[in-house]
A = this chain, B = another copy of it.
Amino acid sequence: MTDHRLLEEGSQLAINFEKLASIARSGSLVVPVAVQDADTMEVLVLAYVNQEALDYTLAHGVAAFWSTARNELWVKGATSGDTLQIVEVRINCEQNSLLYRVRPLGSGTCHTKGPDGSARSSCFYRRLENGQLVMDG
């Protein structure tokens, strides 16, 4: 497996603790957003939002993020078709994180694909067990 596939499909835990520091270095003013399926209640993905992405989300009723890798507005599903329709946007006590409750309009949410070849419903498809990552199902 390539390093990339190992990271995404492997059983080896290799948490990237550098991500937030690199976001800060990029100068992006973002807050984290947890995204939850409003019907199944599954947590789908954790992403980042700046003012522009939040404004887009509220104006268009679809989940938009700030891509901290590409430093650009990321309208989820714009290329993949895996659009997330907004049911509601919630905010935490201290107003430094968000919760998007959504309805997926495509085949899934994650950019990785499951055994059936379609996008996984959630990015959290592995659990930690005795120091290893275990796939569901």
Contact = CB atoms under 8 A, between A and B. Distances in A.
B30 A17 contact: yes
Contacts of A128: 58, 88-91
Interface string A29-71: 1111010100001110110101100100010000000000000
Given A14-B95, A90-B126, A92-B124, A46 B23 contact: no
A21 B90 CA distance: 22
A99 interface: yes
A58 B120 CA distance: 26
A73 interface: no
Given A18-B29, A24-B24, A95 B13 contact: yes
Contacts of A13: 91, 95
A15 interface: yes
13 contacts: A7-B94, A7-B95, A16-B94, A17-B30, A17-B51, A19-B96, A41-B42, A46-B99, A88-B128, A89-B128, A90-B127, A90-B128, A92-B124
Interface of A: 7-8, 13-21, 23-25, 29-32, 34, 36, 41-43, 45-46, 48, 50-51, 54, 58, 88-99, 110-112, 120, 123-128, 133
Given A17-B51, A34-B34, 10 more contacts: A13-B95, A20-B31, A20-B32, A21-B29, A34-B46, A88-B128, A90-B126, A90-B127, A90-B128, A91-B133
